[in-house]
Amino acid sequence: MSENAFEIGVLRLGHRIIRDKRVTMHAFLVSRAFGASVFIIHGDKDSKLEENAKKIVRTWGGRIKVEYAENWLETVGEWRETGGLITHLTMYGMPVESIINDIRRAGRILVIIGGQKVPGEAYRVSDYNVSVTSQPHSEIAALAIFLDRLFQGKELYKQHENPRIFIVPSPRGKVICRNPLYRNDSIGRG
């Protein structure tokens, strides 16, 4: 399956500026690195977090969009109306390994991850409630494992387009390079 075979949205429920900025940013970083095409923040409107996420895209490349959703149920409805499959990551769901092949058949997938207490509607509106384990764990870990299973490990080799800088794998130390082909005209995308 090609790397563009899926359109993946990640919907982060219940973001709170005071408590969640670090967790939400980490959820964005995982979404971007593991192949999502849009990251949607629900909860408190956090312009600083949105700008920091866009700055990551300008620096490290890629095309992931960052959006805000005041009403998460409307977002779910929009994805469903355009043929999207709705998945909700929860420790109470079905084991990822038992349903990932069914989910993989969809071309457009919205992945809901919780923040504060997840509303009961999230369980009801989802086509699949998915667990990566039936033990308490982080939504960030669940998202990474889910996306890895979805892309079958191929996302680990993804090259993001038009980065300003990139890392060269090294057994010791850090090797960070500036991209000599970087095109300044892409600033503002994402």
Q: Is residue 37 part of a domain?
A: yes
Average pLDDT over residues 143-162: 90
Q: What is the pLDDT of residue 72?
A: 96
Asked if pLDDT for residue 4 goes beyond 80, the answer is no
* Neighbouring residues of 98: CB distance < 8 A, sequence distance ≥ 6: none
What Å distances lie between residue 86 and 7, 18, 38, 62, 162, CA to CA? 12, 28, 14, 24, 30
Q: What is the pLDDT of residue 84?
A: 96
Q: What is the pLDDT of residue 128?
A: 97
Q: Is residue 189 part of a domain?
A: no
Asked if pLDDT for residue 140 goes beyond 90, the answer is yes
In terms of residue numbers, what domain contains 133?
7-161
Q: Is residue 174 part of a domain?
A: no
Give, as one character, the DSSP assignment of residue 184: G
Q: Secondary structure of the chain: what % helix, strand, coil (to 5)?
A: 40, 25, 35
User: How many domains, the chain?
Assistant: 1
Average pLDDT over residues 18-37: 95
Question: In which band, very low, low, confident or very high, does the pLDDT at 71 lie, cut at 50, 70 and 90?
Answer: very high
pTM here is 0.89
Give the CATH number of the domain where residue 37 resides. 3.40.1280.10
Question: In which band, very low, low, confident or very high, does the pLDDT at 184 lie, cut at 50, 70 and 90?
Answer: low
Q: What is the pLDDT of residue 48?
A: 96
Q: What is the pLDDT of residue 137?
A: 85
Average pLDDT over residues 47-75: 95
Q: Is residue 139 part of a domain?
A: yes
The first and second tokens of residue 136, run together, are 């308490």
Q: Is residue 45 part of a domain?
A: yes
Average pLDDT over residues 121-146: 93
Ranking 17-21, 53-57, 73-77, 110-114 by mean pLDDT, the lowest is 17-21
Taking residue 111's Cβ as centre, other Cβ atoms within 10 Å add up to: 26
CA distance 110 to 26: 18
Query: Which residues, in sequence order, are bridge partners of residue 178?
Result: 165
Asked if pLDDT for residue 142 goes beyond 80, the answer is yes
Among the residues of 61-167, which ranges form H helices? 72-81, 96-104, 120-125, 139-151
Q: Is residue 147 part of a domain?
A: yes
Provide, rounded to the nearest whole percent, the portion of the chain with pLDDT above 70: 93
Q: Is residue 187 part of a domain?
A: no
Q: What is the pLDDT of residue 159?
A: 81
Average pLDDT, the chain: 90
Q: Is residue 87 part of a domain?
A: yes
